[in-house]
Chains A and B, each alone.
Chain A
Amino acid sequence: MSQRALILGIGNVLWADEGFGVRCVETLAENWAFDANVQILDGGTQGLYLLPFLEEADILLVFDAIDYGLPAGTMKVIEGDDVPAFMGAKKMSLHQTGFQDVIATAQLMGYCPQTLILIGCQPEELEDYGGGLRDIVAARIEPAIAIALRKLRELGIHARPGQGDARLLADASILRSAYERGRPSEDAACRTGDDRFFPAAD
């Protein structure tokens, strides 16, 4: 029986490069189709809501923006037991249920996927509420997808060129192009904030 895979993008599209993971799965589904044993999911910043998807997967491949303290746009692939340690460190999502806790919960319940792969990209800008991906991070979407397709191929999961299943992705109004095109001008909407989150505003 073929293995079941969950391809998951996480992050908040409203916070600039934080949206990297979600934009990756969006682009993936625009260009690549899989068999029914593969699910492509926009996980947003959700926590426990993602558990049922983990339960039904043998392979979990996650795209996410990760602050490794490296130069912006640097990509890093993490696998296996190292994945949880890299996730959810700054817990700002579902009631502090960072994705690390989602994995820990799945482990506690005995249904965590056996194969874990995390494809991360160092963000350039996070503190820009309402902003889109910066160029350097946007340019990593295709390379990240290429890595994902290779990793999946090694596990016996093959993609076909064409429109993939987008049913578990974002509503059209907040897909990347509509979201970034529709942003109000700086004059129209105040964008400054807390020094600790918007150091540039000082």
Chain B
Amino acid sequence: MTITPNGFDLDNTGQRIVVDPVTRIEGHMRCEVNVDDEGIIRNAVSTGTMWRGLEVILKGRDPRDAWAFTERICGVCTGTHALTSVRAVEDALGITIPENANSIRNMMQLNLQIHDHIVHFYHLHALDWVNPINALRADPKATSELQQAVSPSHPLSSPGYFRDVQNRLKQFVESGQLGLFKNGYWDNPAYLLPPEADLMATTHYLEALDLQKEIVKIHTIFGGKNPHPNWLVGGVPCPINVHSTGAVGAINMERLNLVSSIIDKCIDFNKNVYLPDVVAIGGFYKNWLYGGGLSSQCVMAYGDIPENANDYSAANMHLPRGAITNGDLTTVHDVDVRDPEQIQEFVDHSWYEYGEPGKGLHPWDGVTEANFELGANTKGTRTNIEEIDEAAKYSWIKAPRWRGNPMEVGPLARYIVGYASGHEDITEQVNGLLTTMDLPVDALFSTLGRTAARALESEYCGRLQKQFFDKLVTNIKNGDESTANIAKWDPSTWPAEAKGVGMSEAPRGALGHWVRIKDGRIENYQCVVPTTWNGSPRDSQGNIGAFEAALMNTKMERPEEPVEILRTLHSFDPCLACSTHVMSPDGDELTTVKVR
């Protein structure tokens, strides 16, 4: 038994369970846990199994193009990487952007948050709580009554509507196309919903699919196209022209009206469907408050959605910035991403080499040199690892630390920072939810807390989006149609050497890009992504990372069916963004779960 400096008792003597790969996430990840005789997780090891190294492709490129490359590292948060990249380059070169560009970027970023949160909940995470097969047994009339009780103003609630959906689902399942719903553990006792709640939630799975198609139109309008919207160092690439039909792609009143109507649809969906579902589903799982991990101790957010352009101070951010350590909610520390003493990455348990043990490097000085070696207690071979040795190097993810502390990032971290710092909207939302569900504040520090924070944030982001839409329209009406500042577009106006940092709050947490520019070209580029924080391995002090901490002390109903592990890992919305996809004809790659 080992006690980690961050307070977890690790015991790796019990049965070892290996889940590889973890499904319904972005990228490749493996997880190993030890459970005791009662099925309780007493040791957790999270491994990023895929190499990533953006510096490999960006070195020597034009910094004005970096956004287009970073957009391709991920299959999901394309825009948020692009935004962070243009912010880093603007910071390095001292480029300011017009107010309209700030409003449009905020709307793009908020739109991504809302899209990602809704898709995450309904299409990736809900199946950890909701059983679509059980929905086939539901009584449509009782489902209708349930719907009207949990959300009286949602128009789609008749018994006939639910009967239609149920029939469609039945046909789909009977045609053998279980497709989307296969690989589930549908008879596991960890599923607690009555069939009617399962049918209601599965129905909303379909409604969310329809809505998400609408949401992305905002990216198409402002980014010129979607997927892979266009971005621009110095502003946004879409011209505004409200006085005529304008050039192709120019923002006119007709397009702005479409944006406005989509924003309203999202606000309605969050209010009438998403939040009520989280409350209703959460109500059945109120006694399953596992998975808090680091959230009650160490959380961090960089902040995002600046009210005024070019001001990245904490006071100017709608999504809060700050760090909490040692569970002390009375003190919210400011976070300075430029300070070499604050953010450092360690590689003692990662497959990289810095040359000396225990060394941490700030991302501006980051080094990415691979060193794939396995510990003496590894079972299996280099290409077929049966059991990893966590005492040695065991992940492709580095271990970032804030002043030496492992931190959780993401919607729950943002909401805890916001709550602790007295952010008005966030405090009101959190208190409202806790009252509705009759839960104490401590309930936030859980897997469900993470899931609930995401829903609250989606709702808040909808309101913010409307605010920035109004701000944009007012500004345009006042005669300002400027969307880009190209004064420093020409590299001859740049200093010989420069360095900058871009920050954002991606849907899954704090994202930073650090860039060094030399003679007009990229000299070094380092991204520290949210999943680097959350999926971090142990550090030189022995502190475990956020995924690992969150799995600790969870009871598994059936160790060979890792429903509980998936539930908690999914609640982080992990993104090990490498997103290559290779297709092979040899059937589906199923997750293997090995119990040793």
Give A contacts to B, CB under 8 Å.
Answer: 10-15, 18, 42-52, 55, 64-69, 85-101, 104-105, 107-110, 120, 123, 126, 129-130, 167-168, 170-171, 173-174, 182-184, 188-199, 201-202
Contact = CB atoms under 8 A, between A and B. Distances in A.
B56 A15 contact: no
A107 B24 CA distance: 20
Contacts of A182: 60-61
Given A49-B227, A104-B179, A189-B57, 17 more contacts: A13-B72, A44-B227, A51-B212, A66-B582, A91-B589, A95-B75, A95-B119, A95-B120, A105-B180, A107-B179, A182-B61, A184-B60, A191-B53, A192-B372, A194-B49, A194-B50, A201-B372
A71 B579 CA distance: 24
Interface stretch (B25-33, B406-414, B489-497): B25-33
Contacts of A123: 582
B342 to A, nearest CB: 26
A92 B582 contact: yes
Contacts of B57: 14, 129-130, 183-184, 189
Contacts of B68: 170-171, 173-174
Contact of A188 (B49, B59, B582): B59
A64 B172 CA distance: 27
A194 B580 CA distance: 15
B109 interface: no
A130 B56 contact: yes
A197 B51 contact: yes
Contacts of A50: 227
Could you say which interface size class chain B belongs to? 35 or more
Contacts, number: 222
Given A90-B582, A108-B180, A184-B56, A194 B51 contact: yes
Nearest to B574: A95
Contact of B383 (A92, A105, A108, A196): A196
A197 B50 CA distance: 7
Contacts of B216: 49, 52
Interface in B48-66: 49-53, 55-57, 59-62, 65
Contacts of A92: 27-28, 578-582
Contacts of B62: 173
A184 B585 contact: no
Given A167-B224, A174-B69, A193 B583 contact: no
Given A15-B580, A108-B180, A129-B57, A90 B49 contact: no
A173 B68 CA distance: 7
User: Which one of A95, A101, A123, A202 has the greatest number of beta carbons of chain B within 10 Å?
Assistant: A95
Given A66-B583, A108-B180, A189 B59 contact: yes
